[in-house]
Amino acid sequence: MPPVRTLLAAAVVLVLVALPRAAASPHTAPADDAFLAPLVTRGGAPAAALLVREDDGTRYAEAGQDIDRADHFRGGSVTKTFVATVVLQLAAEHRLSLTDPVETYLPGLVRGAGNDGRALTLRHLLTHTSGLYDFTADTGGTVPVTPLQAVRIALTHPPADRGRFSYSNTNYVLLGLVVERITGHSYAAEAERRLITPLGLNGTSFPGSRTSLPAPHGHAYAADGADVTVLDPRVAGAAGELVTTLADLDRFYAALLGGELLSPRWLREMLDTRAAHGSYGMGLFPRRLDCGVTVWGHTGRIAGSYVRTAATVDGRRVLTFRVNTDAVASPGLEPALLAAEFCPRTR
């Protein structure tokens, strides 16, 4: 059990640190900060932090110990937004079509137990409507595997109904292989060249098999309190390998939704949720808050880290929060925090 857990009983030691905001901000009271401490007390995390990016600057808050604004952490499935953006850029360059069968790029690979890459398109993979089994259901997200091993694990199981939304990490492992087949470079190298370097995301990387986090970083804890800061990222691969920072995720999603990375046509394609019946676009999903506002973004969960990025559809306001454990124990806390930031407030 990490020592920081012993601090949870004394709520008075929880620290909220908020940077000042310009007076012109439409949110004069940072109500979302008040929802951060409960992520530690009721959400079961040793520590939590958030960073909001908007037109008039940024605002940071933290709760608990051993967490900092500049920390590197594992981003989990926010990796999927990066991979989907690369695929859509390749589509814009006419190097692939979303209607192409998976078989076109990975001949003979997706076969077995009723799975057939000839009947699956890249759109199926991007929107999680392929029906392919999620390999991490067998590995528990803790066993390092190569992409081919991940796919072979998935193919020992029959598919779910094709065309029905069913979230599966296998889809994005396959997309990583497709990117490599088309470009001759790994998905990581393409994401670095196309996204990370142009946007100056200096804290973001694809670590490959590197088990340590870059400095600075805090500790990461499993739900049972075990320290899992050292982790082989190959447990997730193209579905969740990324290491990043709060500021980099805010910058990336602001740039993506603001039209810096995709043309209007391809950004509309990314936000189109019809294939997944409203549940998912391509590397992004919408969340309609109780006040009627819809935000876009992604969650990321990997051993020792949970992160959530949400943004307005134009990317002008972005919030990223994270906890240094696997999940938020109280499910109502996340939507409450998002509503505090994105829903209009009466004065």
Instruction: Enumerate the active-site residues.
Output: 77
DSSP at 32: G
CA distance 156 to 177: 19
DSSP at 34: G
Token couple for 322: 């994270």
Task: Give which of 39, 33, 45, 187 is closest to 105, Cα–Cα.
Answer: 187
Type of residue found at 175: L
**Residue 289 exposed, middle or buried by CB count within 10 Å (0-12, 13-18, 19+):** middle
CB 73 within 8 A of CB 305: yes
Strand duo 73-74 + 243-244: pairing? antiparallel
CA distance 285 to 197: 25
CA distance 84 to 82: 6
CA distance 188 to 176: 8
CA distance 239 to 235: 9
CA distance 3 to 49: 19
CA distance 179 to 186: 7
Task: Give which of 311, 309, 300 is closest to 259, Cα–Cα.
Answer: 311
Question: What CA–CA distances, in Å, run from 225 to 6, 68, 230?
Answer: 11, 20, 14
User: Across the chain, which distance is largest between two alpha carbons, in Å?
Assistant: 61
CA distance 99 to 175: 13
